[in-house]
Each structure stands twice: as C-alpha cells, then as structure tokens.
Amino acid sequence: MSTESRKFDHIRICLKEKVESGVKSSFEDIKLVHRCLPQIDFRDIELEADFLGRKLSSPIVIAAMTGGHEKALKINANLAEAAENFGIAIGVGSQRAAIEDKSFEYTYKVVREKAPNAFVIANLGAVQFCRGYTVKEAKRAVDMIEADAIALHLNPLQEAVQKEGDLNFSCCLETIEELSSELSVPLIVKETGAGIAMEEAMLIEKAGASAIDIGGLGGTSFAAVESYRVKDSNIAKTFWDWGIPTAVSLIECASSVSIPLIATGGLRSGIDAARAIASGASLTGFALPLLKPAVRSYKDVVIKIEEISNELKIAMFLTGSRNIYELKTAGFVLTGATGEWLNERKLKLKKV
Ligand SMILES: Cc1cc2nc3c(=O)[nH]c(=O)nc-3n(C[C@H](O)[C@H](O)[C@H](O)COP(=O)(O)O)c2cc1C
C-alpha cells in the first residue's frame, strides 16, 4: 500500500471510529492544589511560553497529523491558519509521502503559506533512516515548509502491529546523533502514543536532541487505528492499550532530563494542559481533539483552541498562577497508579 493511501486511511479511521486507548493519560492522578485566595486578577493572566529560543503566545501545540493526500490540504490549511492567528506552534504529519513523491509537497507547504510566522515543526519517521534516508531527506523535509524544528517520530508499536510495518529500528539512536549535529534546526524526538521512559529519555538527550515530545498513552492509539485497517488480525487489538500513560511518561522524562518536554497524548482539556505544565512540560500537544474541527472549518478550529485556552486560564487562576512560569511551580499531589509508579521507579520530580 502506498504511503499516500495509508496516511489517508489513518485520517478516515480517526474521524469515524473509536481510536482512543482504554487506558487514560493519567493526568487525573495529578491533583492541582486549589487556591481559594488566588490573589491575582484573572485579566492579568498571560499564556506566553518559551520554547527552543522562541516566544509563543501559548503553550498549546497543534500536534503532527497529516499531509501527503489531497484531502489533507484543507485540514492543514485550517490548522495552520489557526496556528498563525493564535501565535502557537504547529506540527505537520510525516512528510514521507512528499519525500517519495514531490507532487504531494503542496499538502505540507500550505502550512507555511497559511502560517508565515508560526513555529512550524517538520516530521519524519526515525525508522526510515534505517532504510536509507540520510540527512539529505531530513533537510528536504525542513526546507519544504521552512520549518523551525523537525520532529523525528518513533512508532515501533504501530510498525509492529501493521502487516506492512518496518521492523528494523536498529539505527534510531545513531540517527538522532547525526541529525542533531548536522541539521541547522533543533531536533525533537517524538513518540506517537506509547510514551517515553526515563532510560530512553536520557539516551535521547545524550544523543543531542533539543527536545522530547512524550507522545504518551491515553489518547489516539495507533494500535487501535491499525486494528481497523488489519481486519483479519487480532494482534493490533491486543496491543490497543500498550505503552506508558502520558502523565507517567512526562514525570519519567522530567525527573531525568533537562531538555524541554512537550506533553502530547490524551490531553483533552486546558486542565490537562495545566497539569502537564505543572509537572514539567514546556508545551502541550493536541491532535485528535482538533481533527474533526479542522475537517469542518477554520472557525471550528478557532473555537476549540479558544475553549482549551480558556480552560487553561481558569486552571491558572485557580492555582494562583499569573503566567506559565508560575504555573510550573504550582503545587500538586500525585495520586493513584501514577504516584505508585513514581515510588516504584524511585523518581524524584524536579520543580523549577
Ligand atoms: C490522524 C492522525 C495522524 C497522525 N500522524 C502522525 C504523524 O504523521 N507523525 C507523528 O509524529 N505523529 C502523528 N500522529 C500522532 C499525534 O501527533 C499525537 O502524538 C497522538 O495522536 C496523541 O495525541 P492525541 O491523543 O491528542 O491525538 C497522528 C495522530 C493522528 C490523530
């Protein structure tokens, strides 16, 4: 099957079917301490966030989703226009389709056209570099959309449950090292729904990556997506809930590395975003919640991002946080399985 039709399958399935994991992202285990005396004026709350040397208007990121199919054009255009309007970062979906066939470049380039000032993140799969991609392909992906950074995505789970999956992940760490030193833009290493443990986070940081996108369990499950594509196989269903919940993975990474972290995977409200920032994330990514709005219209994307932003602001108000820096220091209690995980793994949270 071509990369083009596979990418479209993913969008079609995500729009029609239940594709979220049965396991939650675990952000419900992070209880922010309510402040009945916030001692701030709600109107003074600011969402500005710093990321890799850039000032963004808010820590919300439109996570990588699409490109490489004619139907992706409108989705990317609506998302990009919203990113420009809000001054937030946006990732494109894997650019492999356009690396393989230049005629699909327009479905990605639209992001830079509609978002000339936004922080735009290119995207390629790490596994492709074990099959012959070199720095040249990574540079092409960056140049295609004049990207400010590139995300190298790790998706061993998705590849393992696919019929046509690429299973040679033996060179990913070397690829991170090479791209980190050869590219002129920062490299973000990103999981796609199964999370990143402390041990890998430390290897990724040591290899020179500039940031990590957790891509944890609790939201879109690519094993679930693949289970709808591979109807005669139970394997994808069996691995539907495989991975490290996003909040747990975030704490694993925050307690072990110093590079900035993006929390993506099952964030479904501005409260989740606030919990993620208080527990160590610099930015918070949303994919599936923005997909349906993006298929409908630019206006619907704006409504959804406004809703998440307002929820984030209210959570900041109720924790007495005037800005994102203060939110990073907001008090919280870790409960449930996440608290137990922290103890078992002897992790110590670093607070700023
Ligand atoms: C339709 C769809 C396509 C995606 N394609 C990509 C991709 O090409 N590259 C990538 O790094 N992540 C991809 N993702 C993963 C998201 O960026 C994100 O990590 C994941 O969906 C978890 O976030 P969510 O629970 O908010 O959807 C895709 C997600 C969706 C929903």
pLDDT in tens, 196-240: 999 999 999 999 999 999 999 999 999 999 999 877 678 999 999
The residue assigned the tokens 């990207």 is 147
Q: Is residue 351 part of a domain?
A: no
pLDDT in tens, 16-39: 999 999 999 999 999 999 999 999
CATH number for 324? 3.20.20.70
**pLDDT (0 to 100) of residue 224:** 96
Give the residue whose CA is nearest to atom 5 of ligand 1: 65
Q: Is residue 352 part of a domain?
A: no
Q: Is 236 in the pocket of ligand 1 (CB under 6 A)?
A: no
Q: Is residue 77 part of a domain?
A: yes
How many domains are there within the chain?
1
Residue 153 CA: which ligand 1 atom is closest? 11
Which residue type occupies 247? A
**DSSP H or E stretch at residue 332:** strand 332-334
Give the residue whose CA is nearest to atom 1 of ligand 1: 11
Q: Is 275 in the pocket of ligand 1 (CB under 6 A)?
A: no
Give the residue whose CA is nearest to atom 10 of ligand 1: 64
**Cα 172 from Cα 155, distance rounded (Å):** 11
**What average pLDDT does the structure give for the chain?**
96
Q: Tell which residue, 261, 287, 308, 298, has the closest CA to residue 47.
A: 308
Q: Is residue 139 part of a domain?
A: yes
Quickly list DSSP for 137-196: HHHHHHHHTT-SEEEEEE-HHHHHHSTT-----TTHHHHHHHHHHH-SS-EEEEESSS--
**Cα 291 from Cα 214, distance rounded (Å):** 20
Q: Output the CA 331–ligand 1 centroid distance in Å.
A: 30
Q: Is 63 in the pocket of ligand 1 (CB under 6 A)?
A: yes
**DSSP H or E stretch at residue 100:** helix 96-100
Does the pLDDT of residue 68 top 70, yes or no?
yes
pLDDT in tens, 187-204: 999 999 999 999 999 999
pLDDT range class, residue 271, cuts 50, 70, 90: very high
Structural domain harbouring 48: 3-344
